[in-house]
Chain A
Amino acid sequence: MWFEQIVFWALAAVAIGGALGVVLVRDLFRAALLLATVFVAVGGFYVMMNAEFLAVVQILIYVGAIAVLFIFGIMLTRDVQRGNAPNRLQIPAGVISALLLAAMVFTAVTTDWTTLAGAGRENQAQIAQTQAVGIPDATELTRAGLSAEEVESVAGSGLADLLIGDFVLPFEAVSLLLLAAAIGGLALARGRGR
């Protein structure tokens, strides 16, 4: 477990350090690169939490698409020389963020999450998540000690199944959302009459 701890804290350091860099460095390019680093670190967290599929998505979309988009944006607006200067709200923004952070940390630490957690089920969840992308093998699950009903339940709970099953509606809606964003983004980026 110590290895896991080390990796976790290392990733945490990278993520937090990168994030601080994003919001503090004056060079936008560097900020974008640091942002990519943060994305990668977060992807690492996903892997550690057995969410490999999500990690893949994270890398593909965030690092591959979003970070690149940012860099395009930075280049096209030719605003680099003015850099990533702070505005006059640093102190209030810092105070508010700190207070909110305090509330969040306080929440995370004091809430007795276990009262609601299904103790001893972590293992099964892990199995389910491991098999997230594909349809889990029933025999494997049975071997892992799940009862027949639970096997059936897990079998129907792959991530992809969920996306086109229970969450098909938001899934479709997201496509509309992307369409809208594309139309809007294009229309605005293209400009009028040109």
Chain B
Amino acid sequence: MTAYDLYLVSPLLALAGLAMMVIIVDLLTRRTGLLVGVAFVGLAAPAALSAWQLAELVSTGESRLSAQGSVVLHTLSIDRFSLFFNFLILAAAGLVILVSTDYSRRMERLQGEFFGLLLLSATGMMLLVSATELITMYIALELTTLPLAAMAAFLPNGRSSEAGMKFLIIGALSSALMLYGMALIYGFTGSTRLDEIAAALSAGASAGAFPFGSMAVLLAIVLLLAGFGFKMSAAPFQMWVPDVYEGAPTPMVAFLSVASKAAAFALVLRVFYVGFDALGGDWWVLLAGLAALSMTIGNLVAIAQRNIKRLFGYSTIAHAGYILVGVAAVASVDGTATFGPSSVLFYLAAYTAANLTAFFAIVCIGNRINSDEIADYSGMLRRAPFLAIALGLALIALIGVPPTGLFFAKIYVFAAAINTGESLMTWLVIIGVVNSAVSAYYYLRIIKVMFLQTPIHTERVGASWPVNVALGIATLAILWLGVAPTPLLGAAERAVSVLSGG
């Protein structure tokens, strides 16, 4: 353990430290404002440290930080890829913290725990996105999930407890399945490190008659996907999503829907693009299948929903499907494999902006009107113009209509898929675009209800300024990504060069 190791993990340490500090602050004082302030401002530390690391990467021109004798580099990699997600996760966490200002009062005395757990979960995510080794990944995954499961049950009602219960049980079950997969991988390749797994598989990959060269690898990959699918909320591992979304505290759902998902996709990218690189020809079909299934199920079921949080649960499943299209776009006509992953990164960023905006509006509105039924949103434009417009913009973004980031994101994902030159991927894209069209139906229904119907109540719906700030930032992010996607897209492309060994 060298000083450089500490430097490498300093963002993680800072974040974990912040989590403990928040809990301590909570013990000393119960003022929400202070808690939020500490948590939000404190995030500057991990962010600054990550920025420092990024600056070093930029100045040296290296793609990853490295040092002789470092121990932590055995299990993780600090590179542009992980830093990209670090910033994404930190941004999401910061905004969710801000937006919880009003909502967290519902947790009564558990506010400190709420913020602390949220930060711990964020720590897990940051560990997850830099992990290059299966054990670390597992731990990080659990560190991500368990706090979220606890938070899901934080509201003093049965639905919240039920959500927590479901999240925990299904999370644990999928971890168990995933663990078995990891065990098989370890047994088959003799290592838990992705680079060594890759080396082992590429040496002996094409040996057997089975897909993936071996029944063990096939089973392992399927089981791994069960675990990852749970986190990505991809079908058929998605069924917990709507229930948990509906029952859990909305800020936590917001965080879950973007940060946790982003971390999961980072994980999938790392595992599949680095570890199972040699088997790309086999697994992309599987991912493509999951993508098609997720998109279709998510969108079709969302049509019938009346609860907006539940609807967003299905929506997030559908979006997982779109993102998986990018993940599955592993090959390309000209042999460059960066198109798919970079599209995934961009999509995740754009989706984060859009979904956070939507959830923030839902947090505020739901907190005030005490309902998540879409019908109760009627005439929201009159009652809360800013919230309604922000939500409307987010919904438009989620459809994929310009000028929003997700518009480009979808194009990039589909471009990557078509770029593979596989006819199956083209069909997948067609399924994807048709699904996008279908999704317009239910997203627009919300807009319709908010913008066109008459309010059921005249009371105005407002929020405190931190909430509005968070909402404003997220809204601007949607537009910024829609108008000037170049910087982020460039960042995404540079980030994924790590995956192809750069």
A interface with B by C-beta (< 8 Å): 103-104, 106-107, 110-111, 113, 115-116, 164-170, 173-174, 176-177, 179-181, 183-185, 187-188, 192-193
Contacts and interface: CB of A to CB of B under 8 A. Distances in A.
Contacts of A183: 23, 113, 116-117, 120, 147, 150
A185 B150 contact: yes
A181 B139 CA distance: 13
Contacts of B142: 177
A174 B215 CA distance: 32
Contacts of B187: 113
A13 B65 CA distance: 51
B120 A180 contact: yes
13 contacts: A165-B71, A166-B71, A173-B124, A173-B127, A173-B136, A173-B140, A173-B143, A174-B139, A177-B139, A177-B142, A180-B117, A180-B147, A184-B147
Nearest to A191: B156
Q: Which residue, of A103, A113, A166, A176, has the highest number of chain B Cβ atoms within 10 A?
A: A176
Nearest to B155: A192
Nearest to B200: A116
Contacts of A113: 187-188
Contact of B16 (A111, A115, A176): A176
Nearest to B75: A169
B164 interface: yes
B285 interface: no
A193 B190 CA distance: 51
Contacts, number: 108
Nearest to B137: A170
Interface in B111-133: 113, 116-117, 120-121, 123-124, 127, 133
Given A116-B190, A181-B146, A170 B215 contact: no
A176 B109 contact: no
Nearest to B113: A187
B150 A166 contact: no
Given A165-B71, A166-B74, A169-B76, A192 B120 contact: no
Nearest to A104: B219
B332 interface: no
The 3 closest A-B pairs by CB, nearest first: A184-B150, A170-B139, A166-B74
B45 interface: no
Interface in B141-193: 142-143, 146-147, 149-151, 153-154, 156, 164, 180, 184, 187-190
A169 B146 contact: no
Interface string B72-85: 10111000000000
A176 B123 contact: yes
Nearest to A186: B113
A192 B23 contact: no
Contact of A107 (B147, B154, B184, B207): B184
Nearest to B190: A116
Contacts of B123: 176
A116 B196 CA distance: 13
B107 interface: yes
Contacts of A168: 1, 71-72
Contacts of B21: none
A181 B168 CA distance: 12
Q: Which residue, of A174, A179, A187, A188, has the highest number of chain B Cβ atoms within 10 A?
A: A187
A165 to B, nearest CB: 6
Nearest to A168: B71
B139 A115 contact: no
Q: What is the predominant secondary structure among interface residues of chain A facing chain B? A: helix
B110 interface: yes
A187 B150 contact: yes
B120 A107 contact: no
Contacts of B367: none
B411 interface: no
A77 B79 CA distance: 48
B147 A111 contact: no
A167 B189 CA distance: 18
B470 to A, nearest CB: 24
A160 to B, nearest CB: 14
B406 interface: no
Contacts of B23: 183
Contacts of B204: 115-116
Contacts of B153: 188
A103 B210 CA distance: 13
Given A107-B216, A184-B149, A188-B164, A193 B124 contact: no
A177 B143 CA distance: 5
B9 interface: yes
Nearest to B164: A188
B139 A173 contact: yes
B120 A179 contact: yes
A180 B187 CA distance: 31
B164 to A, nearest CB: 7
B143 A180 contact: yes
Nearest to A171: B139
A173 B128 CA distance: 11
B301 to A, nearest CB: 21
Nearest to A165: B71
A113 B75 CA distance: 25
B127 A169 contact: yes
Contacts of A181: 146, 150
B219 A107 contact: yes
A115 B120 CA distance: 42
Contacts of A188: 150, 153-154, 164
Contacts of B143: 173, 176-177, 180
A111 B142 CA distance: 30
A167 B74 contact: yes
B437 interface: no
Contacts of B75: 166-167, 169-170
B307 interface: no
B136 A177 contact: no
B251 to A, nearest CB: 16
